[in-house]
Chains A and B, each alone.
Chain A
Amino acid sequence: MKNILYILLTLTIFTACGNVENEIKQKRDSIMTLHDQLMERGEIIVRNKLKLDTLQNNLSIFAGSMPGLDTAATKQELQVISRRLQMADNEMSDWMAAFDPVQEGKSDQEKKKYLDAEQEKLYRLNSMFDTALSQSNDYLQKFKKK
């Protein structure tokens, strides 16, 4: 009877460990997927920033076809949007450099806590990307029509 209890206890411990390991793996995979999606959008961030910076230096070309265009104010707006793109890009770059997916020597609970926090950071970054991209796309669209 005692032996059966020991076997059951051992099995329970093994199953619980397996579950935590699985949970950590799933969390890590989901972070990687999010990271890869952000990297893909990072290409658009760089592309849009390049366009906005080019636009800033060539506003006089549009002045002819856009009566009432306040080049000084537009330049300032372009700089703000460009800086926002740069900030989002820098944040992503800093996250990548600091992220440690292995967490050597840490307990499973510590690993899980760390990955949860990192996932939250990526969600915040994702929102930052959304705002920066949507603002820059809207602004570029205005000039595309001309």
Chain B
Amino acid sequence: MKYTYWMAAAGLFLAACSSNDNERKLPIYGERTAVKTTVDGKEKTDTLYQTIPSFRFADQDGDTTTNQTFEGKVYVADFFFTSCPSICPIMSRNMKTLYDTFKDNDQVRFLSHSIDPRHDSVPALKEYAQKLGVNDRRWLFVTGPKEVIYPLAEKNYLVAVNEDGKAPGGFVHQGYFVLVDKKKRIRGAYDGTDKTQVQKLGEDIGLLLSEKE
């Protein structure tokens, strides 16, 4: 009888936990503004969240990658450079694991921004992608002026890191993977060099995909 009681309690506990996980929603980072609208004569307040602004970069195929490329997709963004001797090889390996995990899901994309445009030309990015085993356009490696990429990183992609109470700046080369939802809102930042965090990111991508619009 005692055994049955414990089994029932454990079952209830697990059910509660799994139901919590199903209901778990990822936070939305960045600035937000309250906007009042009137629908059918009734005043309604909506929240407008910070979104990734328009961008335009050259990718590893010599094509142009813009924010439109990620329309309706969940994507993971990071900042790297091909000759990086320290953290980038680990980050790329971890990102590749995610890329392989979601290979059958057309709703998931990856975007790596080079922070060394002086050396990371289109052919250099192509070679890097091929060495990693990336032969399709689900993972794009892009290059552009530092004056564009750095502010985009600091003021937009890395806002989640700033909100963690750390001093602003100095995060571009710290190996963060940033999760962006289908509405281009920032939903998380993860240490791309840490396998546990990358695994968590994989789970969070799953959560975003099942999130109701």
Q: What is A's interface to B at a CB cutoff of 8 Å?
A: 32, 35-36, 39-40, 42-44, 46-47, 49-50, 53, 89-90, 93-94, 96-97, 99, 101
Residues A35 and B147 in contact, CB atoms below 8 Å apart:
no
- On chain B, the residues within 8 Å of A47 by CB distance are 150, 154, 169
- On chain B, the residues within 8 Å of A53 by CB distance are 147
- B29 CB → nearest A CB, Å: 20
Assuming A32-B86, A46-B147, is B169 touching A97 (CB within 8 A)? no
The answer to whether the Cβ of B191 comes within 8 Å of any Cβ in the partner chain is no
The B interface, classified by DSSP as helix, strand, loop or mixed, is loop
- On chain A, the residues within 8 Å of B172 by CB distance are 39, 43
Question: A90 vs B170: C-alpha distance in the bound complex, in angstroms?
Answer: 18
Residues A43 and B85 in contact, CB atoms below 8 Å apart:
no
The answer to whether the Cβ of B83 comes within 8 Å of any Cβ in the partner chain is yes
Assuming A46-B146, A50-B151, is B173 touching A101 (CB within 8 A)? no
Residues A97 and B86 in contact, CB atoms below 8 Å apart:
no
Q: What total of A-B pairs shows CB separation below 8 Å? A: 52
Residues B85 and A101 in contact, CB atoms below 8 Å apart:
yes
- On chain A, the residues within 8 Å of B147 by CB distance are 46, 49-50, 53
Assuming A39-B173, A42-B173, A94-B118, is B85 touching A32 (CB within 8 A)? yes
Residues A99 and B83 in contact, CB atoms below 8 Å apart:
yes
The answer to whether the Cβ of B119 comes within 8 Å of any Cβ in the partner chain is yes
- On chain A, the residues within 8 Å of B35 by CB distance are none
